[in-house]
Amino acid sequence: MTEAAGWKPTWAVSPGEILVEALEERRMTQADLGRRMARPLKTISEIATGKTAITPETAIQLERALGISAALWLGLESRYREAMARERDREELEGHVAWLDQFPNKELVDRKIIDRRTTKAEQAAALLAYFGVSSPVGWERFWGEAAASYRMSETQSVSPYAVAIWLREAEREVEDIELPTFDPVRLRELVPRIRSLTTALVLAMAVEEARDLLASAGVGLLLARGIRGAPASGAVRWIRNNPWILLTLRHRTEDHLWFSLFHEVGHVLEGGRRRDVVEELSDDATSRTDEGAANAFARDTLLPDFESSELLRTGRLDQSAIRETAAEYGVAPGIVVGRLERDRNVQPGRFMNLKRKVDTPA
């Protein structure tokens, strides 16, 4: 057998098969080769059967003994071992179907994480690659723990697998965005300016400006698409040493937008430089100290001392009074309506026409 110049095999063939062919062409036995290389016959036999890998030292010896370059032997060996490893991995992936089936299949397909036309093993491989882990065990240790650190709602069905998809999708969306060092002092100073944006005529532009202001303090803001099984209004996740506020806008009104935003700002300010996930997956999770504090921060930021407002003192709960109160506080009327609803002073939906709708992430 002769080596063609520049020939690079594209298939995974055992180097041992090539060795056997080379010996046959040269009418040389394995024992002859062993003596030429000063290696035991057992070693040559194990190379020929693929039991022993060709090392760089052995490849150089084969080059001298047979006239076939060390680079070819090493290339064959590398491709062969990789092919064997991938075959073993494929067999292992077929055993991961039960793990794969715990995820919401429709969400995985809709978000183009997996292709329904591929095999279960291929889907499991795609899902592992999406999460950046090598196995379900690795997924459990990293993403399983991250999802479990969320406070789960006691009244709604929450899937840690759906939560993990939600977190990973957000992380992938912002992974190329660079933010300055997180500055909690500046963030606190910016709160009044962000609050003033609630009266902006164009809500979408107000959100963009809020994003820019938060970014100047090293805080990211992402309107993250919601997912069935993770009923979150908002969350804080630390990504590369910066806090990112994730909002789903699942209630689709301005009062929920701004309340959720300031709720998460409260978490960032009170949580300091914590690196774990801070979140409430339930809107009424006020019994926990951290959630109660975040709710209080949002309420007091948007409508401080509202309990003593003239609106509540007079009990004149009509549209005109609500608009006047909003003007006094310097916020949008929808925020006053939202507060009245949260405090159960009015029935939900009674003044819905005063609330502006917001566009949810596609």
**Beta strand 278-279 with 220-223: parallel, antiparallel or unpaired?**
unpaired
Contact assessment for residue 75 and residue 8, using Cβ atoms and an 8 Å cutoff: yes
Q: How far apart are CA 326 and CA 302, in angstroms?
A: 10
Count other Cβ atoms within 10 Å, centred on residue 183.
Answer: 14
Which phi and psi (to 5°) does residue 114 adopt? -130, 165
The rounded distance, in Å, linking the Cα atoms of 285 and 279 is: 10
Please report the pLDDT score of residue 3 as a whole number. Answer: 43
218 phi/psi in degrees, rounded to 5: 80, 25
Residue in this structure with the two tokens 């407002």, named with its chain if needed: 309
In this prediction, residue 274 carries a pLDDT of 54
Amino acid at 140: E
Domains of the chain: 15-94 (1.10.260.40), 96-131 (no CATH), 134-362 (no CATH)
Burial pattern 275-314, b for ≥16 Cβ within 10 A else e, equals: eebbbbbbbebeeeebbebbbebbbebbbeebeebebbee
Q: What own/partner pairs with CB < 8 Å and gap ≥ 24 does 96-103 have?
A: 96/121, 96/124, 96/135, 96/136, 97/121, 97/124, 99/124, 99/136, 99/139, 100/124, 100/127, 102/161, 103/127, 103/161, 103/162, 103/165
Q: Coil, helix or strand for 10?
A: coil
Crossing angle of helices 120-131/160-174, nearest 10°? 60
- Burial pattern 42-76, b for ≥16 Cβ within 10 A else e, equals ebbeebbebebebeeebbebbbebbebebebbbeb
Distance CA 264, CA 257 (A): 11
pLDDT averaged per 10 residues in sequence order, the chain, 362 residues: 42 87 95 95 95 95 96 94 87 87 93 93 94 92 75 65 90 93 96 96 92 97 86 83 87 90 91 54 52 89 92 91 94 94 91 87 61
User: At 113, is the secondary structure helix, strand, or coil?
Assistant: coil
Which letter, b or e, does each residue of 250-263 get, where b requires 16 or more Cβ atoms within 10 Å of its Cβ?
Answer: ebebbbbbbbbbbb
pTM of the model: 0.76
Residues 6+ apart with CB under 8 A from 112: none
The DSSP secondary-structure symbol of 286 reads T
**Amino acid letter, residue 85:** A
Rounded CA separation 209/317 (Å): 32
Helices (H), 26-174: 30-37, 41-48, 56-66, 70-94, 97-100, 105-110, 120-131, 136-139, 145-148, 160-174
Tokens standing for residue 66:
């047979």
| Farthest-apart Cα atoms in the chain, separation | 108
Q: What is the DSSP code (8-state) at residue 26? A: T
Task: Give CA–CA dist 210/221, Å, rounded.
Answer: 8
Residue whose structure tokens are 């925020």: 335
Q: Would you mind telling me the total number of residues written for the chain in this entry?
A: 362
**Beta-strand runs (E) in the chain:** 220-223, 234-239, 242-247, 278-279
